[in-house]
Amino acid sequence: MADELDRTDLKILRLLQANGRLSNADLAAAAAVSPATCHRRTQRLFEEGYLTGVRALVAPHKVDRGTLVMVGVVLDRSTPESFGAFEAAAAKLKFVLDCHLVAGDFDYFLKIRVGDMADFNRIHGQQLIALPGVRQTRTFFVMKEVVDNAPLEF
C-alpha cells in the first residue's frame, strides 16, 4: 500500500469516482492542473491499477431488478475442493452481485438482485440450493435499501 499518490492523484481519483463522465478538460480544472498533465496522470492511474474501470450505473428497478436479497450459505464440508466448486458455480450466476467467503456462522454471503420475491423463490429452489456442497441457506430479504453501493471514501 506504498502510497505514491500525491494530492492531485487523490483528487483525480475522487472526482472520477464521483463522475466518470467528466471530460479531461473539466477534470483538469477541478484538480487545478493543466489538461495535458491531467491526461497523463489519469492514464497512469489506469495503467497502475488504481482505477480498474468506469461503469455507468443502471437503476435496478427500471430494468426489473428491484428486489435485493442477502443470502447466508453453509457448506457441507470445509475442504478446499468444496469451496472451489461452490465459488466457481456461484460466480457464474447472473443474479449474484456479491459472493464473499466469510468467517463466522456462515461460509458465504451472497448479495442477489432479482425482479420480485416470486422470482427469488424460483431461483432459490432451482439454483441456489443446487449449488455444489450447499448444506443450508438463510435468506434475508431487503425491505429497505438505506445505502447501496456507496462510493469508496479514502
Partner DNA sequence: GATGAAATCCGAGTCAC
Partner DNA sequence: GTGACTCGGATTTCATC
Residues forming contacts to DNA in the complex (CB under 7 A) are 8, 23-28, 33-37, 39-41
23 binds a copy of itself (CB under 8 A): no
Residue in the block written with cell 438482485: 113
Cell of 64: 426489473
Strand (E) or helix (H) holding 115: none
145 binds a copy of itself (CB under 8 A): yes
What's the CA gap between 92 and 71, in Å, rounded?
16
What SS3 state is found at 21?
A: coil
127 binds a copy of itself (CB under 8 A): no
Tell me the window of 32-40, 74-82, 124-132, 144-152 that interacts with a copy of itself (CB under 8 A). 144-152
Q: Are 41 and 12 in contact (CB under 8 A)?
A: yes
25 binds a copy of itself (CB under 8 A): no
16 binds a copy of itself (CB under 8 A): yes
Q: Residue 136 to residues 35, 68, 95, 117, 149: CA-CA distances in angstroms?
A: 55, 20, 19, 19, 27
Min. distance of Cβ 117 from a copy of itself in angstroms? 11
Cell of 34: 493543466
Min. distance of Cβ 18 from a copy of itself in angstroms? 7
Terminal C-alpha separation, the chain = 13
Q: Which does 24 bind (CB under 5 to 8 A by kind): a copy of itself, DNA, none?
A: DNA
Min. distance of Cβ 54 from a copy of itself in angstroms? 4
Where does this chain bind a copy of itself (CB under 8 A)?
Answer: 1, 3, 5, 13, 16-21, 49-66, 68, 70, 87, 90-91, 94-106, 108-109, 111, 113, 115, 138-154
